[in-house]
Each structure stands twice: as structure tokens, then as C-alpha cells.
Amino acid sequence: MDAIVALKEDHQAVEKLFKQFEKAHKEGRGDRKAIVDQVLMMLTQHAYIEETIFYPTAREAVPETEEHVLESVEEHHVVAWLLSELANLDPSHETYDAKMMVLIENVRHHVKEEEQDFFPKVRNELGRKGLSDLGDAMSAAKDVAPTHPHPWAPDVPPANAVAGGIAGVVDRVSDLVATILRRKSTSEGHKSATKVRARAEDATGAVIESVKAAKRASNATGRSAKRAATSTRKAAVARAKGGATSARKSAKKAVTSARKSAK
């Protein structure tokens, strides 16, 4: 499954529980603890999967998300403390509902930032195949993810993965990141090669156009020279014809004049 789709489905499921708790709180119902227990389990697994699989992969494959990843881990840490306190607190305690309301507010803020700012960047860089591979790794990790919060445990990969008892997750993330980076490198190489070919085609086209332009200019020059030569020949013929006509007239006058003198 697509990793981001899977995380959004978790968000939706938790939000549904939040609304159930808000309604139970408003009505003063006694099933609030059962709802909190479900929230506790879902958020613990969700945070663990993000911190051990999704966040380290995003941080390595999409470097510009590093700041968001670090902030998100700290937000998880705050939520983990609230969850651990709720797990050990009686629902009748005056701070029980207050702690849950603060937790809901924090998680909603966290989800909004992830879905609006963080996830789009990851999707744009990893693509369909990368997110599918990432989703498979997350699904495998969910089977062994803890269901109870441990806010005192390391919260930065890979230490948190080892502390959770699945050191193999570290290797899985490393392999996944390497695969995604190779895929990105290959894709960028194809794009670069395409750009080079495009530039070469543009250059070739420019040369062809230059040759055509030179040929047109040459043809135009040839036609101009031909027209000039034709005009010159015509002028010379005209002059020659004019000279011959004048000579004939002069000769005719001379003959006429000689005849008159002989008489």
C-alpha cells in the first residue's frame, strides 16, 4: 500500500476516536477510558512506525524535510508522555479529561502540518513505486510495533528501533533508502540525458537553418548576377544595333552624295 495513504487512514481512524471521546466527555459518559485505551494503542503504533520507517526514509531521500522530521519526533515525544500519564490515571481524576483534550489538540495540529506540508514533499520525491515500497516496510513493522507508550525510550532512529526489539528495521530502512535514491538518480540521469539530446537537436536544427539560409542567399546572389549579366548583354546588343544602324545611314548618305556629285 502507498505509505502516505496508510498514514492518512491512521489519522482518520484516530480522529474518529477523538470525536467519540469529545461526545462522551460532553455527555459525561463512563466509556471514556475504553476510547482512550484505543487511542493509546493506535497512536503508539502509528508514532513508532513513523519514527522507525517513514521519518528516517523521508529524511534521507528528501533532505529538505529534515527540520519537519525533527519537529515531528519532538511532538510525538510530548504525545507519548500524555498517553503514558493517561494510561496510569483513573478516569475519575479531575485532570483525566483535561489531559485528553490537550492530547487531541496537539495531535490535530501535528496531523494538519503533516498532511498539508510534509506529505506532499515526500510524495513528489519518492513517487508511486517508492511510496509502495515504503508502505510494505511500514506494514511489516506494524506487526511488531509496541502498543504501549514508552516516552523514556530513545526517540531518534536507529536507537528507537533497536530499543523496540526490531534491529532488523534499521537494515530495512537503509536498503529502502538506498533503493529509492538509486531510482531517483536513474530518473534524474534520464532527465539529464533527455535535456542533452534536446540541446543537441536544437543545435543541429540551428545549423540546418543556417545552411538553408546560406543556400537561399547564394541562390539569390546567383539570380541577381544572372539578371545583371542579361541586362548587360541586352544593353551591349542594343548599343551594337544602334551603331550598325547609324553606320548604314551614314553609308547611304555618302552614296547618295557621290551620285549627286557625279551628275
Kindly report the number of other CB atoms within 10 A of residue 68's CB atom.
20
CATH number at residue 181: 1.20.120
The number of folded domains in the chain is: 1
| Cβ pair 57, 131 in contact under 8 A | no
Looking at residue 30, its pLDDT comes to 85
Domain for residue 163, yes or no? yes
Kindly report the number of other CB atoms within 10 A of residue 60's CB atom.
18
The Cα 8–Cα 73 span in angstroms is: 17
| Cβ pair 97, 25 in contact under 8 A | yes
Q: Which of 101, 120, 97 is nearest to 109 (CA)?
A: 101
Domain for residue 147, yes or no? yes
Looking at residue 35, its pLDDT comes to 96
The Cα 181–Cα 173 span in angstroms is: 12
Q: Which residue has the cell 476516536?
A: 17
| Cβ pair 157, 55 in contact under 8 A | yes
Per-residue cell: 225: 548576377
| Cβ pair 17, 104 in contact under 8 A | no
Domain for residue 108, yes or no? yes
Domain for residue 198, yes or no? no
The Cα 74–Cα 65 span in angstroms is: 15
Domain for residue 175, yes or no? yes
The Cα 72–Cα 75 span in angstroms is: 5
Domain for residue 101, yes or no? yes
Q: Which domain holds residue 173?
A: 3-188
Looking at residue 135, its pLDDT comes to 92
Q: Is 153 exposed, middle or buried (0-12, 13-18, 19+ CB in 10 A)?
A: middle
The Cα 263–Cα 120 span in angstroms is: 124
Looking at residue 235, its pLDDT comes to 56
> Mean pLDDT for each 10-residue chunk of the chain (263 residues)?
96 97 92 95 94 91 92 93 94 95 97 96 92 91 83 53 43 63 62 50 48 53 54 55 56 58 55
Looking at residue 182, its pLDDT comes to 72
Domain for residue 25, yes or no? yes
| Cβ pair 78, 106 in contact under 8 A | yes
The Cα 224–Cα 231 span in angstroms is: 11
Looking at residue 142, its pLDDT comes to 84
Looking at residue 33, its pLDDT comes to 94
Domain for residue 50, yes or no? yes
Torsion of CA 89, 95, 97, 101, to 10 degrees: -110
